[in-house]
Amino acid sequence: MKSEKSHHPKHKREFGGCVEFIPTLPDYTEFIDAHRIWCFPINHLTHFVLQENPNSSGQKTLPPDQLVLVYPPATVVLKGWRLELLLGPLVNGRVARVHAEKHLGALILEEAWVSEIRVLLRDNLIRDREKFEDLISQQS
């Protein structure tokens, strides 16, 4: 008779069965900053805008990208690097969590890096476009 250890491989076995379950698509996107976690239903995202960060002024140490996500109760502003890589997953409802990390660690060129998350609740929004853009710019 073989010992218990011989029945359990040391490494996790690759899938070899008939049925594979994958995690369900998330219902919410979590936005995690240094102080709190905000959650918004993925299917409530009405639109988004990717643009140059108005506060970067070409400085390489500041995030060059800004992604504005509009939900009915709030607007979420992400600042970071390579945020265009989030667009496909956003459209397909595959973004479950966005975590802001102020200090750049090991950069992975194939991934977006979010350094700042700002959530502007609808009560704080200003309907005038110029004032709204100024408000977002001042959040840095």
Does pLDDT of 139 surpass 90? no
Q: Model confidence over 12-43: pLDDT tens digits?
A: 556 556 776 667 788 999 999 888 999 999 99
- The closest of 35, 106, 30, 121 to 75, measured between CA atoms, is 121
- Range with lowest mean pLDDT among 1-5, 26-30, 67-71, 132-136: 1-5
The domain locations on the chain are 25-138
Q: Model confidence over 60-74: pLDDT tens digits?
A: 888 999 999 999 999
Q: Tell me how crowded residue 71 is: count the other CB atoms within 10 A of its CB.
A: 19
